[in-house]
Amino acid sequence: MRTGAFPDPVTITLPRGETPAFALAMTEAGPGWARAGIIKDAGDDPDVTHGCMVVATVREGGEGIRFRAGPGVGRVTRAGLPVPPGEPAINPVPRQMMRQAVEELGGRDVDIEISIPGGEELAARTWNPRLGILGGLSILGTTGIVNPFSCAAWISSIHRGIDVARAMGLAHVAGSTGSTSEDAVRAHYGLPLEAMLDMGDFAGGLLKYLRSHPVPRVTIGGGFAKICKLGQGALDLHSGRSQLDLAWLAARCPELPEARVLAANSALEVLEMAQTPALVQRVAADALATVRAVLGDAPVAADVIIVARDGAIIGHAG
């Protein structure tokens, strides 16, 4: 903006001192303003924003360093998030990084606008609408580093969902392993969308945060196999990070010979062989014991619901 030159690649300093360089995908400039964009590379992280362009526009004028939400970047409308309602959905650490970069160049009075072409459509595939971030995506980040297959972003979204539920004064939240169980739990209790936490496989991430940030009641919902693993004591229910213990399941299914259970290919096969609601109830009760053990003395009432693939509730404990 001051020299008319755009360093390419451009080097930035991350919060922990790393200095990566990024190739510029676009540049523009005019009297008193400059704009540059890069293509986001999320690596192996399952991120809907992988490959999108993030554009920063800096304009001289005004008072102080101010942040604006351009097209594709959302605005906060509810309390409980790191920035207050009415502000662009740009989190504190990215704000501090941008503020520091401007100050190092001697800037004092500038507007910084962040935009993401197509961001409003991408945001519909994220947690933003239920968190009360409307109109686009969020500019997140605490370290500036994405670890391959990182769980951190998902767990952080769970935490923000709990923060919003608490700020709204909700007395009952629910975490589910998938959309089928979420729909069943929500319909069963008539819960608002803001109460539904997209737990996925990260039961531990949800329950540990509730232990220190309690909500009066939590329901955990999921399919039979995932809830079996929770009953075994697993807090990460991903197939690559925890495995079903068929011997554990056999001990809860005295209706079947142990050898038949141990020879089964899956929890669902055992359930179909057993043909008894007692097995489902035993698994739900064990899962509830795991939930209560993690919550500890936190003032949180808990229950567990097991949902069949067709969306029917087949087990409930608590």
How far, in whole angstroms, is CA 72 from its chain's centroid?
19
135: pLDDT strictly greater than 60:
yes
pLDDT at residue 43 is higher than 70: no
- Above 80 in pLDDT, residue 46? no
Distance, in Å, from the CA atom of 85 to the CA atom of 65, rounded to the nearest integer, reads: 19
For range 59-67, the mean pLDDT: 93
Q: For 270-307, write each residue's pLDDT tens digit.
A: 998 998 899 999 999 999 999 999 999 999 999 999 99
Burial degree of 188 (CB within 10 A; 0-12, 13-18, 19+): middle
Ranges 140-154, 175-189, 190-204, 270-284: which has the least confidence? 140-154
The pLDDT, as a whole number, for residue 80 is: 83
Strand partners, 134: 75
- pLDDT at residue 153 above 90? no
User: Cα(219)–Cα(120) distance, rounded to whole angstroms?
Assistant: 31
State how far the Cα of 237 lies from the Cα of 220, in Å rounded to an integer: 13
Mean pLDDT on 31-41? 93
Strands 72-73 and 136-137: parallel
Element of type H or E holding 156:
helix 152-167
What pLDDT is attached to residue 4? 72
Q: Which is higher by pLDDT, 141 or 196? A: 196
Distances (CA, A) of 204 to 36, 175, 221, 239, 306: 40, 11, 14, 15, 18
pLDDT confidence tier of residue 123, bands split at 50, 70 and 90: very high
Residue 293: predicted pLDDT: 97
Q: How far is 215 from 165, CA to CA, in rounded Å?
A: 8
More confident residue, 132 or 143: 132
Read off the pLDDT band of 64 (50, 70, 90). very high
pLDDT exceeds 60 at position 149: no
Q: According to the model, what pLDDT value does residue 101 have?
A: 92
| 8 A C-beta contact, residue 196 and residue 182 | yes
pLDDT at 44 over 80: no
pLDDT band at 62 (very low <50, low <70, confident <90, very high): confident
pLDDT at 261: 94
Arithmetic mean of pLDDT, 86-94: 94
The contacts found for 17-25 with CB under 8 angstroms, 24 or more apart, are 18/144, 18/145, 20/144, 25/53
pLDDT band at 237, cuts 50/70/90? Answer: very high
Residue 49: predicted pLDDT? 85
Confidence of residue 147 (pLDDT cuts 50, 70, 90): low
Q: What is the pLDDT of residue 52?
A: 94
Which range of 43-52, 233-242, 294-303 scores highest in mean pLDDT? It is: 294-303
**Are 204 and 294 contacting, i.e. CB atoms less than 8 angstroms apart?**
yes
Q: With bands split at pLDDT 50, 70 and 90, how would you rate the model's confidence at 45?
A: low
Lowest mean pLDDT among 58-62, 104-108, 245-249: 104-108
Distance (Å, whole) CA 98 – CA 41: 19
